[in-house]
């Protein structure tokens, strides 16, 4: 690597014809801050305008994670304090997600290690998405009283069968093979080959396009095999095809086997409000025309989630007190009324707007 031009929480480099963006908060698993979102956005603008850059590569520093998501402690503090930081973060992050999906040059995301929440937004909207044997992929928001955002309500409903619904509701880790099958990544490449991958991409000519990048990735890729979600695809389809959480729970209870039992146990630990909200948003996302529509709907729900006790309780239990024992309110699915979920679907004011073509 050479020509480093930024040495803060985001490191920018030019390496021959590649523009490289490195998330640089390894101790925080490269969790995103507002400043990082702004630096990545500015870098994408700069690289798009540079005729010497053929490919943009986004990666995380350290061996543990690509990006574990947004810095939820900061969002928690903003909501409690009544500041506009959380709203500003979400607005700019969602615009960045849309920007990635419409980026004019090949954008290669190296999803090595933990890739969750906001990390999914930085990677799964990319034109080229790479997982490794170390990838730990999840959208775990229902476990903290939140819901899958960053355009996940566009991505997850488009996974085969009901795989994406399972992923959004359980928030469980997904192995690389199933990430690829769900359409959220494209290639698996061994972690020890990532340096070779970056160097090879950087050697592409300035006029290189998506097919040239495809060829490089395919040449270095390996067969990811079959993951547990694919092995249990029929069961997932049978049990997660419904429009109500109560129906999903009933269907799981009627199944035999460890997978159904483990799925049930996981769902019982999640916020009942988050489960119903997540399912509603995923079903609406499956009917939506484009990513922009889903992101706008998600922002409206974000602004309402700041009024939800489960959002603060989930973050308290996960990262503040770390007792892993949230007390959800309401505590049962039956107590979560349809009107309370409707309240999360109020459009954000002012509306979320995007520049460039729609996804």
SS3 107: strand
With vertex at residue 134, the alpha carbon angle to CA 130 and CA 137, rounded to the nearest 5 degrees, is 70
Token representation of residue 78: 């903003």
Q: Is the dihedral of CA 112, 116, 119, 121 positive or negative?
A: positive
Match 């920018």 to its residue by tokens: 12
SS3 99: helix
Q: Which of 60, 70, 79, 314 is catalytic?
A: 70
What is the DSSP track for 130-166? EE-TT-EEE--GGGGT----TTHHHHGGGSSTTHHHH
Pick from 227, 103, 116: nearest CA to 175: 227
Q: Which helix (H) or strand (E) holds 78?
A: helix 72-81
In the residue annotation, 285 being an active-site residue is answered as no
In the residue annotation, 258 being an active-site residue is answered as no
Q: Which of 13, 71, 112, 149 is catalytic?
A: 149
135 φ/ψ angles, rounded to the nearest 5 degrees: -65, 130
Q: CB–CB of 305/311 below 8 Å?
A: yes
Q: Which residues, 6+ apart, have CB-to-CB distance to 197 below 8 Å?
A: 110, 130, 189, 216, 217, 220
What is the DSSP track for 111-124? E-SEEETHHHHHHT
In the residue annotation, 70 being an active-site residue is answered as yes
Q: Which of 118, 119, 145, 168 is catalytic?
A: 118
Buried (b) or exposed (e) across 131-160, using 16+ Cβ within 10 A? bbebbbbbbbbbbbbbbbbbbbbbbbbebe
Q: Which of 112, 141, 186, 310 is catalytic?
A: 141
In the residue annotation, 141 being an active-site residue is answered as yes
Q: How many CB atoms lie within 10 A of CB 241?
A: 13
Q: How many CB atoms lie within 10 A of CB 225?
A: 10
What are the catalytic residues? 70, 118, 141, 149
């Amino acid at each position: 690597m050479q020509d480093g031009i930024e040495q803060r929480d985001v490191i920018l480099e030019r390496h021959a014809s590649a523009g490289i963006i490195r998330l640089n908060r390894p101790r925080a698993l490269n969790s995103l801050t507002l400043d990082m979102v702004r630096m990545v956005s500015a870098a994408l603008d700069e690289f798009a305008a540079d005729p010497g850059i053929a490919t943009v590569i986004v990666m995380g520093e350290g061996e543990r994670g690509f990006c574990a998501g947004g810095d939820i402690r900061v969002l928690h503090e903003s909501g409690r304090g009544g500041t506009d930081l959380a709203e500003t973060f979400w607005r700019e992050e969602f615009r960045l997600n849309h920007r990635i999906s419409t980026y004019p040059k090949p954008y290669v995301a190296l999803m090595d290690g933990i890739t969750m929440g906001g990390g999914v937004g930085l990677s799964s909207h990319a034109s080229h998405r790479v997982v490794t044997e170390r990838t730990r992929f999840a959208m775990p928001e229902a476990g903290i009283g939140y819901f899958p955002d960053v355009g996940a309500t566009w991505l997850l409903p488009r996974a085969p069968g009901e795989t994406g619904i399972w992923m959004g509701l359980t928030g469980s880790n997904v192995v690389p093979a199933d990430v690829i099958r769900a359409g959220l990544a494209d290639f698996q490449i061994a972690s020890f080959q990532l340096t070779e991958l970056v160097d090879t991409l950087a050697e592409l000519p300035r006029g290189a396009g998506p097919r040239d990048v495809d060829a490089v990735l395919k040449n270095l890729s390996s067969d990811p095999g079959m993951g547990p979600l694919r092995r249990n695809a029929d069961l997932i389809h049978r049990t997660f095809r419904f429009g109500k959480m109560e129906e999903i729970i009933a269907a799981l209870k009627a199944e035999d086997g460890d997978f159904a039992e483990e799925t049930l146990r996981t769902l019982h630990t999640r916020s009942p409000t988050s489960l119903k909200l997540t399912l509603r948003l995923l079903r609406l996302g499956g009917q939506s025309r484009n990513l922009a529509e889903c992101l706008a709907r998600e922002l409206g729900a974000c602004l309402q989630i700041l009024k939800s006790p489960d959002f603060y309780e989930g973050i308290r239990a996960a990262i503040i007190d770390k007792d892993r024992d949230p007390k959800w309110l309401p505590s049962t699915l039956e107590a979560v009324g349809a009107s309370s979920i409707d309240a999360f679907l109020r459009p954000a004011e002012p509306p979320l707007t995007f520049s460039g073509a729609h996804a």
